């Protein structure tokens, strides 16, 4: 078992005031762009556009759970071609099964949490699309904090963005939308565990809608 180091001293209060692209630039300056990895669900184009604008060619990991919507694969391909993204696709080390029916926590561990650990191997910084406006459980997400369990600096450059901020960013940069986002899917995960939501509902209400589960485990 590798030794676990304590969180290094880190002053991140100034990051609250920075634009998302400048947060990623700060992380690249601190650690070197090749030690950063972005995990993107490709539910929208904002995170990958921000990260690639700040550090062109930055590694972006797509965790292919075997159960992503066909539209997500299509959308990711469009973004890779349009913005020349450096995307690595990580696959689970298990064959497709029906675990999502009986044990979604274990299914997410095998298909998301374990592949994430491989994506973080050798990296110093993990960049995510977490936003405080996503849900009540994410309302206090920091812009940057050392993740003791994963032993990386976790950076959430979009943390402070409201939904309106995201819409404005998409408009300013003429970003395309995921095909499902206009069909009632404000949060897009795996097809067995994602449903459309009614207008005004919590954005993540369609995720694991029949259970108390609210997170896949990546951010726990």
Sheet containing 59-63: give its strands across. Answer: 86-90, 59-63, 36-39, 125-127, 152-155, 144-147
Binding mask 51-90 for ligand SF4 (x = CB under 6 A): --------------x-x-----------------------
Per CB under 6 A, does 189 bind ligand SF4?
A: yes
Q: What is the dihedral of CA 176, 178, 180, 184, to 10 degrees?
A: -70
Residue sitting closest to ligand SF4 (CB): 190
Per CB under 6 A, does 179 bind ligand SF4?
A: no
Residues numbered 107 to 146 that lie near ligand SF4 (CB under 6 A) are 107-108, 111-112
* Count of residues interacting with ligand SF4 (CB under 6 A): 13
The contacts of residue 200 (CB under 8 Å, 6+ apart) are: none
Q: Is 74 helix (H, G, I), strand (E, B) or coil?
A: helix
Per CB under 6 A, does 204 bind ligand SF4?
A: no
* Shortest Cβ 87–ligand SF4 spacing (Å): 19
Return the sign of the alpha-carbon dihedral for residues 99, 101, 106, 110.
Answer: positive
Q: Is 216 a catalytic residue?
A: yes
Choosing from 15, 152, 159, 193, the residue that interacts with ligand SF4 (CB under 6 A) is 193
Contact by Cβ (8 Å): 151, 5:
yes
Residue 102 host element (H or E): helix 99-102
Per CB under 6 A, does 104 bind ligand SF4?
A: yes
Residues in touch with ligand SF4 (CB under 6 A): 65, 67, 100, 104, 107-108, 111-112, 189-190, 192-193, 216
Q: Active-site positions?
A: 216
């Amino acid at each position: 078992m590798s030794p676990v180091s304590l969180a290094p001293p880190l002053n991140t209060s100034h990051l609250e005031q920075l634009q998302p692209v400048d947060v990623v630039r700060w992380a690249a300056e601190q650690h070197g762009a090749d030690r950063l990895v972005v995990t993107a669900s490709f539910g929208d184009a904002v995170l990958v556009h921000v990260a690639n604008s700040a550090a062109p060619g930055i590694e972006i990991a797509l965790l292919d759970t075997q159960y992503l919507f066909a539209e997500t694969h299509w959308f990711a391909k469009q973004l890779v071609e349009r913005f020349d993204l450096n995307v690595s696709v990580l696959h689970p080390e298990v064959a497709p099964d029906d675990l999502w029916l009986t044990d979604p926590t274990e299914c997410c561990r095998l298909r998301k949490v374990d592949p994430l650990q491989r994506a973080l191997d050798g990296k110093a910084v993990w960049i995510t699309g977490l936003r405080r406006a996503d849900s009540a459980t994410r309302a206090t997400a920091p812009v940057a904090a050392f993740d003791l369990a994963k032993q990386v600096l976790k950076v959430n450059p979009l943390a402070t963005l409201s939904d309106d901020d995201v819409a404005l960013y998409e408009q300013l940069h003429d970003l395309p939308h995921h095909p499902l986002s206009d069909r009632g899917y404000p949060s897009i995960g795996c097809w067995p565990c994602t449903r459309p939501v009614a207008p005004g509902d919590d954005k993540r209400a369609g995720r694991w809608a029949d259970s108390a589960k609210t997170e896949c485990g990546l951010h726990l």
